[in-house]
Every structure is written in C-alpha cells, then in structure tokens.
Structure 1
Amino acid sequence: MLFWSQPPVREQGFQSPTNESRTMSGELPPNINIREPRWDQSTFVGRANHFFTVTDPRNLLLTNEQLENARKIVHDYRQGIISPGLTENELWRAKYIYDSAFHPDTGEKMVLIGRMSAQVPMNMTITGCMMTFYSELGTAYVSATTGAVATALGLNALTKHVSPLIGRFVPFAAVAAANCINIPLMRQRELKVGIPVTDENGTRLGESAQAAKQAIAQVVVSRILMAAPGMAIPPFIMNTLEKKAFLKRFPWMSAPIQVGLVGFCLVFATPLCCALFPQNSSMSVTSLEAELQAKIRESHPELRRVYFNKGL
C-alpha cells in the first residue's frame, strides 16, 4: 500500500534508516525503538501509516504459531537477542503482529473480537445489517444504550412519511448518539480521577480530568467520522441498486452487498480517522485543574504543555 512506503522513525542518536538496516558484521542493529510506532506520529501521514497497519483485518487470520513466533522475536529483540538473518522489515512486521494480538500492559493474548484488527469486520457486519434492516430498529437496538435507541426510534418515526433514502440515514444518527453516550460512560472513571499527564520526556506529572475530557472528545469525534463514510455512501448506492432488476429478482442480495460496501469504506475510514489526532495528544498547562497547575509550576516552572494518551 502506498502509505507504507515511508522509512521508519528512530530515537535520537540512532543510525539513519534504511529498508534493511544491518551492521558492518551483517547483523541487525539492536537500537531500533520498536516500543514506538514505525512512522513519525507528529504528522497525519505518519499516524495513518501506523493505523493502517494496526487495523489490518488480515491479522485476524494469523495462526497461534505465527502470533507466538512474533512475540518471541519482539521479546528477544528487546533483550538484545537477534534471530540470525532477521531483517528490519521482518522485525517491524513482528512488532505489529505482536501489538495486534497481545495486550500492551499485561502481555496477554486479547479476545479476537476485542483486537483493533477486528474493528473493520465487526463494524461492517453490525453497521451493514443496521442499514439493511433500518425499518426494524426497535429490535436491532434492544442491546444499545437508551440514548441511541431513543434517537433511532424517534428519527425513524419522523421519517416514515419521507423518502426511503432519508430513512437510511437514521442508523448513522443512532451510531453518533451511541458514541456520544457509550464512550464517556465506558471511560467515566477517567472523567472522575483523571488520566496521567506527562512532560515531553514522559515524566509523569499527575492525573487530570480535563485531559480526560479532551481525550474522550477526540475519540468520540474520531468514532463518529469513522462511521460516516460507511453510513453515508452506501445508502445512495443501495437506493439506486434497489430500483434495478437484479435486486428486484434477488432481494436477498441486499444485505451482503450493503455489508460489503460498508466494509470497503471502513477499511480506509478506520485508520484515517484514528489518525486524526495524535495518540499522545497535548494541552496547555493553563487548561488543567488549578491544583495540578500549581503543582506543575512548582516543580516545572518553565513547562507550557503537557502530554497524555488519548486512547482509542
């Protein structure tokens, strides 16, 4: 893919990157920083490269043997052990395979549907079915939040007497409402006790609920925009196709076609929208809580901005 053609980013003082960096002896250098993304995260293109790799649905097809091999390569490299013949591209591939399946903190293998690589297939199935059966939202949203259900049912009632094309956009409104409610609810503890904020060197300065609010807002915006192409483009296509002879003859094809269209949109929308905001976002010290501001001014009087992980 075109996005993946850029060279990797290394920590300050590392060798100049090449496609297959090796030492004079032919061995892979031990100073590649695989704890960080391969691409420069200060640019949108760099973040897009990173998330195209993180959300690659093909990672779901990897066997346990492949996952364990990737874990061994990563763990060995971090301890200075380099497999004979290992190239830099193979090392980065192992790093992203490892990151796709294992929890970054506990190191445990994550449930299949909970991995970032499952975002596209899971969302395309749910979203595609929602849009196919948009006139049956009462059943489709039994397990959704109260706010999403109210939005969906309310808008569905309002659109009964208008064009079916307008009715097809009801699920998007419901998804937007669900994201506005569910994400803050799932992260309500962060809104109460805050999330860690650091200086540019990663030194922890304290916890901030204000930083949590900004992080959650960024995630909500990303999730809504992530759903937009898959829920805005297919309705126009399906509205046209359903007037054609093919779908009139084979109406059962409506669902798989719609799911496929949504999936195609999500393959691009998911990584691009995840990349809208830096993973390590920042905010002005003056925007923090007064107590935390005072603490920072006392220990770091010259500091103007703090950094935090926005989450996904």
Structure 2
Amino acid sequence: MSGALPLNINIHEPRWDQSTFIGRANHFFTVTDPRNILLTNEQLENARKIVHDYRQGIVPPGLTENELWRAKYVYDSAFHPDTGEKMVLIGRMSAQVPMNMTITGCMMTFYRTTPAVLFWQWINQSFNAVVNYTNRSGDAPLTVNELGTAYVSATTGAVATALGLNALTKHVSPLIGRFVPFAAVAAANCINIPLMRQRELRVGIPVTDANGKRLGESANAAQQAIAQVVISRILMAAPGMAIPPFIMNALEKKAFLKRFPWMSAPIQVGLVGFCLVFATPLCCALFPQKSSMSVMSLEAELQAQIREAHPDLRPEFSQVHTSTLAP
C-alpha cells in the first residue's frame, strides 16, 4: 500500500551532502551513535522491514521522511551492507565509542607493568580484529589467513612498541610514560590496516568516471585510500589518548585520588569516552568516502586503457573517482 511519502527518496546514500565536512560529520554522528547498541531485536527488525518495504515501493501509512531516515540508519547500524546479515554487537560502528573508551582507558591506566601491557594490547587488537572481520567486504571477504596475519602482526607491533617505549621512559617524567599506549596504538594501525587491505594493494580498487561507470582497478588509488584510513584512525585515537594524561597527571597529585586510587580507572575511562564521542565521527568525516584523483596519478596501463576508451579525454585535467572506505 502506498502512503503519502514519495518513493523517490534515495536511501541508498547518506542523508547529508557528503562533499562537505559538515555533511559527513552529521552522517557519522548518526552512524556512530552509541544509543543504537541498546536497540532491541524487535526494533532492528522493524527498521529492516521499513527499509526493505520502501525499496520495493511499499510505504506504511503515516510514515514520515524523518522516520524513514531513522529506520535507514538503524538498519545500517546493525546489518551488513553487502550480505544483509546482522552484525556482531561489538563489531558495529555504534559500539566503537563504548568499547574503545573502556579498552583505551584501561590501557592508559594499567601501562606500567609488562603483564598489563601484554593483556590490554592483546585485548585492543582482538577487538580490532572483530571489527575488521564484522565489517569485511562482501565481494572480497578476508580469508582466515589474512585476518590471522594482520591480527598477529598488529598485536606484536603494538606490544613491542609499548614495551620498548616503557623501557626508554623509566627515567623520565611519568607524564611522558602516559603517552606510550598512544604510540603503541599508532604503530599497530600502521601495521594492521595495510595488512587487512593487502588484497587491495595488490590488485587495486575500482575507479569510476563522474557518471559512476567503472573504468578499472588501481593499486595507486588503493594506496591513497589506505593512507587516508591510517591517518583518520590515528587522529581518531589522539584526543582520547593525548588529553586525559594531562588531566590524570594533575588529579593523581590531589588528595582525592591518593585516598581513593581505585577511582583512577573509571575517571580515565570517562575522560576517554568524552573525547571519543566527538573524535570518532569527526575523524571519520575527515576524508570523503568517495573521493577523486587525477588520471595522471593512475598506473600507466590504466591510463592507456582509459585513453583508448575515451580518446577525447585530456588526462592532465581529468579526474576519476574511487571509494576510500575511511571508517
């Protein structure tokens, strides 16, 4: 049954203009909303039904545009875009803030001993592996070998960085030591993300013209996309791991934390969480998910292929489009 709501609303794309930072930020504030993890299965299934029905031209009586967009974002928050399967709870984008604030807060509280470093870096990389597996591509899924290699390499890199820097900072200010977990996380991201997307670095990612017509695959485009992902992930972690150390260093000199030292972890987790609520969507929005690059930046073979298909094209002034997939 058709209602008053028009059927030409494009819910395949985000609601806001993705060519602007503000539009992308609005999109990711909705995508990463932690309240979505509290939704019941009934609410998730209802959102899925609304979205599927609308795509088939069926509109429930009384459905408003705002309700349709809300259903779309609820659906996107819980179901895989390629396979349609319900994603593992802690692997969803809406779980990023609560999970990361807990793990990061504990990494920054318990960083002084080797067992604590080993445990929390292992927990962090295990969580990252779950997120990467949950959000894997439906067209080119990660193999168990690729996932295992990235997981072991990132964990090893993070632990080695943390232990090495802990040894170097034993004789310096305690404040400097508080930044060791951030260095370890940054190092792990530089290892983990390229390994997770190694197939794209080998065979390339699709590039299209302005009309969306596929022109081929480019490894150079993949390098640009993956570099943007690494940068955004490191910057995403930076506020929550750079601001709280200054606050905690001052608080631990006060009588309150000297009297109640067990409060250190909850306070640190809360500070990290406050930072991540804003840093997560804002850093996801730094780069467009669909970006452009010069034809001249592509591989010579692909440039020749494009010129052959489009003889009137002037490569020095032409752009192709590709997917960054920043989050």
TM-score where L is the length of structure 1: 0.85
Q: Structure 1 residues 144, 298: CA separation in 2 closer, same or farther (over 3 Å shift)?
A: closer
- 3-state SS, counterpart of residue 83 of structure 1: coil
- 3-state SS, counterpart of residue 234 of structure 2: helix
Of 236, 249, 263, the match for 1:253: 263
Structure-2 separation of matches of 1:146 and 1:235: 24
1:142–1:149 Cα contact (<8 Å) kept: no
1:111-159 Cα distance to aligned partner (Å, 9 max, x none): 11111111111111111110001x9999999995222222211111111
Compare 142-151 and 88-97 and name the one that shifted more.
142-151
Q: Structure 1 residues 126, 138: CA separation in 2 closer, same or farther (over 3 Å shift)?
A: farther
Root-mean-square deviation over aligned CA pairs = 4.0
Structure-2 separation of matches of 1:269 and 1:77: 33
Q: Structure 1 residues 277, 140: CA separation in 2 closer, same or farther (over 3 Å shift)?
A: closer
Following superposition, the deviation at residue 46 of structure 1 comes to 0.3
Q: Structure 1 residues 35, 192: CA separation in 2 closer, same or farther (over 3 Å shift)?
A: same
Q: Structure 1 residues 108, 137: CA separation in 2 closer, same or farther (over 3 Å shift)?
A: closer
For structure 2, the residue ranges without an aligned partner over 5 or more in a row are 111-144, 315-327
Q: Structure 1 residues 252, 70: CA separation in 2 closer, same or farther (over 3 Å shift)?
A: same
Compare 86-95 and 190-199 and name the one that shifted more.
190-199
Structure-1 separation of matches of 2:202 and 2:230: 18
Q: Structure 1 residues 302, 67: CA separation in 2 closer, same or farther (over 3 Å shift)?
A: farther
- 3-state SS, counterpart of residue 72 of structure 1: helix
Structure-1 separation of matches of 2:48 and 2:90: 20
Of 44, 48, 56, the match for 1:71: 48
1:80-134 Cα distance to aligned partner (Å, 9 max, x none): 100100000000000000000001111111111111111111111111110001x
Aligned residue for 2:294?
284
Q: Structure 1 residues 105, 244: CA separation in 2 closer, same or farther (over 3 Å shift)?
A: same
Compare 110-119 and 147-156 and name the one that shifted more.
147-156
Following superposition, the deviation at residue 59 of structure 1 comes to 0.4
- 3-state SS, counterpart of residue 272 of structure 1: helix
Q: Structure 1 residues 139, 51: CA separation in 2 closer, same or farther (over 3 Å shift)?
A: closer
Compare 196-205 and 38-47 and name the one that shifted more.
196-205
Q: Structure 1 residues 138, 204: CA separation in 2 closer, same or farther (over 3 Å shift)?
A: closer
Q: Structure 1 residues 211, 141: CA separation in 2 closer, same or farther (over 3 Å shift)?
A: closer
2:32–2:93 Cα contact (<8 Å) kept: yes
1:55–1:120 Cα contact (<8 Å) kept: yes
Structure-2 separation of matches of 1:216 and 1:139: 18
Aligned residue for 1:12?
none
Following superposition, the deviation at residue 68 of structure 1 comes to 0.4
1:28–1:82 Cα contact (<8 Å) kept: yes
1:180–1:220 Cα contact (<8 Å) kept: yes
- 3-state SS, counterpart of residue 142 of structure 1: helix
2:146–2:195 Cα contact (<8 Å) kept: no
TM-score where L is the length of structure 2: 0.81
Compare 281-290 and 88-97 and name the one that shifted more.
281-290
State the identity %: 93
Following superposition, the deviation at residue 199 of structure 1 comes to 1.2
Structure-2 separation of matches of 1:136 and 1:106: 20
- 3-state SS, counterpart of residue 160 of structure 2: helix
Structure-2 separation of matches of 1:177 and 1:162: 22
Structure-1 separation of matches of 2:150 and 2:9: 48
Structure-1 separation of matches of 2:248 and 2:49: 47
How many residue pairs get aligned? The number is 280
2:101–2:272 Cα contact (<8 Å) kept: yes
1:120–1:267 Cα contact (<8 Å) kept: yes
Following superposition, the deviation at residue 193 of structure 1 comes to 1.0
Structure-1 separation of matches of 2:208 and 2:150: 43
Q: Structure 1 residues 303, 223: CA separation in 2 closer, same or farther (over 3 Å shift)?
A: farther
For structure 1, the residue ranges without an aligned partner over 5 or more in a row are 1-23, 305-312
2:150–2:195 Cα contact (<8 Å) kept: no
1:272-305 Cα distance to aligned partner (Å, 9 max, x none): 000000010111111111111111111134557x
Compare 199-208 and 176-185 and name the one that shifted more.
199-208
Q: Structure 1 residues 262, 203: CA separation in 2 closer, same or farther (over 3 Å shift)?
A: same
1:157-180 Cα distance to aligned partner (Å, 9 max, x none): 111011111100011111110100
1:138–1:153 Cα contact (<8 Å) kept: no
Q: Structure 1 residues 157, 136: CA separation in 2 closer, same or farther (over 3 Å shift)?
A: farther
Q: Structure 1 residues 98, 249: CA separation in 2 closer, same or farther (over 3 Å shift)?
A: same
1:230–1:261 Cα contact (<8 Å) kept: yes
1:229-260 Cα distance to aligned partner (Å, 9 max, x none): 00010001101111111111111111111011
Structure-2 separation of matches of 1:142 and 1:184: 13
- 3-state SS, counterpart of residue 243 of structure 2: helix
